[in-house]
Amino acid sequence: MWLRVLLLHIVLLGSVVSQGERDANAIENSKESGESISVELYNATNYCDPSLCEGHPHVACNAELYNYGSKCEISAQLLNLKRDTEQFIVDKLNEFRNQVARGGFQGFLPASHMPALSWDKELAYLARLNVQKCSLVFDKCRNTMSSRDVGQSIAYKGLKGNLPLLEDIISDQLLMWFNENSGASMMDILKYRGHNVGKPKDNFLQMILQDNEKVGCAVLQQSKNDWMQTYITCNYDHSPVANKPIYETSPTAADHCPDGQSRKFQFLCSTLDNEKEESPYAMVDNFSSDSSEDESKKQKKKSAKSRTHKDGVVHEVTTLKKNKIFRVKGNTLKRKFGNFLRYLNKAKKKTENTHVVILTSNHEVDDGKNQNEEAQAAKVLARRTRLMQKSLRSQARRIRNRGIMSRTMKHSRMIKQTARSRSGLARSRIGNGHAIWRTLK
């Protein structure tokens, strides 16, 4: 009995340690990636305040990051999105908004002042608390002190086999929300009829809502039964309101923008935060934290030498004083290269005649298959040569046997007549006697 109890304690302790190691690794990875979760900043907000949610439980009330839900696998990992990935999501959403705001898409009228979205860290933090449940369940409340009607979209994707890039997975999920436009009409744009009315379209309407200026998303991935599961949650600073328009229309897109049009998305309105994200100097502070105002002015003067497009976006900036160096451990590189070789061998087996050449930054690595192909081609050529020579010899033999010395029909007839006249008499030996006969002409 005591042995069974001891084993039970060991199992429970092992599960607690594995959970603790997973949380510690997740936090350590977030530190290594340079991501600023700023949990202490949001802890200053009392998310348990009843006034935030009108009596509903808030997703961040007494919640902790990396406290995975009961439906999560041991392999569940809350991804730490890089700044490039965050900007990729924002740009993708703004592309969809710009496409609709322009007018003409699916018969929708142009939007008079639809703003461009920008990334919000607090909304992303609340999205992480939702996605770490590993379940497609909307939060009953995710409001903030500045946004009392935060909107939300959630999605799930399961993949098996070779996995695409994370950006491709996210892009597919955002496109899935946008494709709900097939269930929306201009009547829904002019007057929102409420949640889950008619065909699915709420995620699309949430995406193009005029009141939205902020967005924050989170991604979780886990493996289950050889399937890679990806959960995505995006929070917006506003949600559609029943009997209110999704956006206001006008004959010309973006003709009522208070701060002008966006430089990157011409049919969306510019916002202060969005223009800051689009600025080529927005990343300077992330690379050099101790830069002063004088240094920033020097950086701008130097950056003026770089190539600038008509829209004012600098395409090449080489004036950063401190370059951020990304160091990758050797074991990680070996593991990734081993996975690459396994996938390469699988591809070779499926396509036997494929010549694979691996190109690196400073040299070329050939798999040696071209030598085998050259030898095989030489064998095929030699075989075809032998067959051709054999065919020519066979044709010559048939010509000699028939007595045909010319290709023309006239010469052929003359040769045959001469052969018949010469064979007028023939002899055959039968036993000890002789037999003489004439051939019929």
Domain-located, residue 165: yes
Q: What is the pLDDT of residue 312?
A: 37
8 Å CB contact between 331 and 282: no
Domain-located, residue 287: no
- Domain residues for the domain of 206 are 31-236
For residue 236, is it left (φ>0), alpha (ψ between -120 and 50) or beta?
beta
Q: What is the pLDDT of residue 389?
A: 87
Write the DSSP assignment of 164-221 as a string of letters: --HHHHHHHHHHHHHGGGGG--HHHHHS---TT-SSS-HHHHHHT-TT--EEEEEEEE
For residue 38, is it left (φ>0), alpha (ψ between -120 and 50) or beta?
left
Domain-located, residue 71: yes
8 Å CB contact between 124 and 233: no
Domain-located, residue 72: yes
E strand or H helix at 71, and its extent?
none
Q: What is the pLDDT of residue 418?
A: 53
Write the DSSP assignment of 248-282 as a string of letters: -B-SSTTTT-TT-B-SSSTTSB--HHHHHHHSTTT
Q: For the domain that residue 163 is a member of, what is the CATH number? A: 3.40.33.10
Give the Cα separation of 387 and 381 in Å (integer).
10
Domain-located, residue 130: yes
Give the Cα separation of 71 and 62 in Å (integer).
20
Q: What is the pLDDT of residue 306?
A: 41
| Angle formed at CA 76 by CA 71 and CA 78, multiple of 5 degrees | 115
Q: What is the pLDDT of residue 162?
A: 87
The number of domains in the chain is 1
Lookup result for tokens 């950086």? 299
Written as tens digits, the pLDDT of the chain (441 aa) is 444 434 434 333 444 334 444 544 544 554 444 444 445 555 568 999 989 998 899 999 999 999 999 999 999 999 999 999 999 999 999 999 999 999 999 999 999 999 999 999 999 999 999 999 999 999 999 999 999 999 999 999 999 988 899 999 999 999 999 999 999 999 999 999 888 777 889 999 999 999 999 999 999 999 999 899 999 999 999 999 999 999 999 999 999 999 899 999 999 999 876 666 554 433 333 333 344 444 444 444 444 444 434 443 333 333 333 444 444 455 666 666 777 777 677 777 767 666 666 665 544 445 555 667 778 888 888 988 888 888 888 888 888 777 655 454 555 555 555 555 554 544 444 444 444 444 444
Domain-located, residue 285: no
8 Å CB contact between 197 and 89: no
pTM beyond 0.85, yes or no: no
Q: What is the pLDDT of residue 270?
A: 92
Q: What distances in angstroms separate CA 33 from CA 53, 80, 291, 315, one per listed residue?
A: 34, 7, 22, 25
8 Å CB contact between 284 and 300: no
Domain-located, residue 272: no
Lookup result for tokens 């100097």? 281
Q: What is the pLDDT of residue 354?
A: 64
- Residue type present at position 292: S
Tokens of 326: 């990304």
Give the Cα separation of 382 and 169 in Å (integer).
51
- 246: exposed, middle or buried (Cβ count in 10 Å: 0-12, 13-18, 19+): buried
